[in-house]
Amino acid sequence: MRLRSLTWVVSVWLLAIGVEADTVPFASGESGRLFSLHGSNTIGASLAPELVEDYLIAKGAQDVSIRARAEANEYRVEGRVANNPVYVDVAAHGSGTGMRGLASGEAQIAMASRPIKPSEQELLADFGPMRHFDAEHVVAIDGLAVIVHPSNPLNALTVNDIARLFSGEIRNWSELGGPNRPISLYARDNKSGTWDSFKSMVLQGDYSLDAHARRFESNDRLSDSVSADPDAIGFVGLASVRRAKAVDVSQDGISPLGPEPLYVATEDYALSRRLFLYTLPGQTPPLVREFIEFAQSATGQRRVAEVGFVSQNPVSLKPAIHPDAPPAYSDLVRHGERLSINFRFDSGSSRLDNKALWDIERLQQFMSQPANRDRQLQLIGFGDAQQSEQRALVLSQMRALRVKSALREHEIHAASIVGFGDGLPVADDREAGRIKNQRVEVWLFDPAASTAVNGAKAELMKARELINPGAVSGVWPQHKK
C-alpha cells in the first residue's frame, strides 16, 4: 500500500526553522584561496558550490560567482574582498578522492555521500578519530532514487528486485509484469559515493553489477540518459531525478515508500542516506569551521532544500498513518503531527549519533518559536528484533528515555516516553537495517489534544499490564511560563 504523496512539502521545507549561525565579515586583507573541498559528485555538482557562494556573500564578499574549471566536475567559487580576490575550489570526482585529499593536505573538507570507510579511517588515523563530532558533519539527507523512463508502467520494486535487475539476473521487463523488452542498465562509476551507497544498500555483497551496465561519473548525465531510453533503469541522488520517473522502494515484508521529503528526512525510506562533510578533528582552520556551521544553519539548510536534497530544518506534518503500524501506535499519533526528525544512535551504543546532536539544537530553536511554545513533544521509541518481545520493548523505551534526558539538558520538555519495541520496522534485520530500526520518532501535540493523548497512553498501559505505568504513560505536563 502506497502512503499518500508528500512531495508538496518541499515548499514547506524552505520555511522551516533551524539553527542560525553567525558569520564574521572578512578581514580587509583576506585574499587568495580560502580552502578546498574534494570528493562526492552528489554534493560537489551543485550543493557545495552554492553553499560556498552563499557563505562568501554572507561574509561580505562582492561579485561572487561560480565558475566551471577546465577539468570536468571542478568549480571555483570566487569573489572580491576590498578588491582582493578570494576563492574556494571544489573538485567532485567521488567520495574516495575526498578522503585522499584530506590525507594529502590538498583538501580541507572531504565531501562523501556515504559514511567514511574503515580503510579511510585508518588512512587518516594519525589526525584523530574521524567519526568524532568535530570531524563528521551530516550536511543533508538524500534519497537514492531508482529511476526508469516515464513511460515504464512499474511503480514499485523491492530492494531484492532491484539487486536482481542490476546483477543481470532479470533481463526483460516482462519478468516484472512490464512490456516484453530487454532492460538497459545505467549505473554510477566506481569512484562515486552514490555507487558505494547503492552497492551497500542494494547489492549488499550478495550480487555484483552486470558487466553490461553503462557507467557515469555524473548523476545528471545518468538521469538524462535514462529519461531518453524507454528500456532503462538507473539510480541517482534525489536531486538528479530530473525528467525520469522514480519508483517506490521496499524491503521484503515492508510497505513501499517513495523518495519523498518526510520519509527521506526521517530516513524511513529504504534507500535514504546521509551526505557528509569530513574535516580533520582538532585541526580545522577557522574559516572551514565557520563554513561547516553555516552549512548546518537554517540558511544553509534552506539552500540544501533549494538544490533538491532534503533539509534538516525541522517541520511538522500530518502524514497518513503507516499501514503496518500497531493499533495502539495509530490511536496515539492520530492526535498529532510528526516532526521531520528521527533520533538515532551510534552502532552498538546508547550514544546519540552526530546528526542527533545537531538535531537537538535544531529542535530547541523550533520549540522556542511562539507558535510551538505551548505544544507538547511526544517521543516514541522503536527497536530491532531481539530475543524476546519484552526485551525489544524495554530497549525501545530506554532509547526514548535517553533522548528525553538529552532534550532536558537543553531545556526542552517532552511528555512521558512510549516504546513500541520492534512493532514498526522500516528496514530488514541486517546490521544497517537494525541501526535504522533503532530510532526515536518525535511527534507534536496541541494542548487541546491532551485528554485524547493521555487516554491513548492509558489504554496502551492497561493492555500491556505494566508494573510501573509511569514509565510509559503519564499526564500532560503543564507548560512553564
Instruction: Write the CA distances from 478 to 51, 223, 256, 324, 464, integer angstroms.
Output: 41, 52, 39, 33, 27
Question: What digits encode the pLDDT tens for the residues 296-347?
Answer: 999 999 999 999 889 999 999 988 887 788 999 999 999 999 999 999 999 8
The bridge status of strand 136-148 relative to strand 245-246 is antiparallel
pLDDT of 435: 86
DSSP annotation of 80 reads E
Q: Is the pLDDT of residue 381 over 70?
A: yes
Sign, Cα dihedral of 125, 127, 128, 129? negative
Q: What is the topology classification, in CATH, of domain 9-139+274-307? A: D-Maltodextrin-Binding Protein; domain 2 (3.40.190)
Q: Yes or no: is domain 142-265 CATH 3.40.190.10? A: yes
Question: What digits encode the pLDDT tens for the residues 14-66?
Answer: 344 556 667 899 998 899 999 999 999 999 999 999 999 999 999 999 999 99
Chain centroid to Cα 328, Å, comes to: 28
pLDDT of 10: 33
Q: Is the pLDDT of residue 386 over 80?
A: no
Q: Could you tell me the pTM of the whole model? A: 0.84
pLDDT of 320: 84
- Rounded Cα distance between 305 and 310, Å, is 5
183 contacts: CB under 8 Å, gap ≥ 6:
165, 170, 171, 172, 173, 231, 232, 233
pLDDT of 284: 94
Question: What digits encode the pLDDT tens for the residues 246-271?
Answer: 999 988 778 888 888 888 999 999 99
- Rounded Cα distance between 446 and 239, Å, is 34
Domains 9-139+274-307 and 142-265 share a fold: yes
Q: Is the pLDDT of residue 8 over 60?
A: no
DSSP annotation of 2 reads P
pLDDT of 462: 81
Question: Which uninterrupted H or E stretch holds 469?
Answer: none
Look up cell 544497517; give the residue: 432
Q: Yes or no: is domain 316-471 CATH 3.30.1330.60? A: yes
- Rounded Cα distance between 40 and 48, Å, is 10
Question: What digits encode the pLDDT tens for the residues 96-153?
Answer: 999 999 999 999 999 999 999 999 999 999 999 999 999 999 999 998 999 999 999 9
Three-state helix/strand/coil letters over 96-143? HHHHHHHHHCCCCEEEECCCCCHHHHHHCHHHCCCCCCCCEEEEEEEE
**Domains of the chain: which residue ranges?**
9-139+274-307, 142-265, 316-471
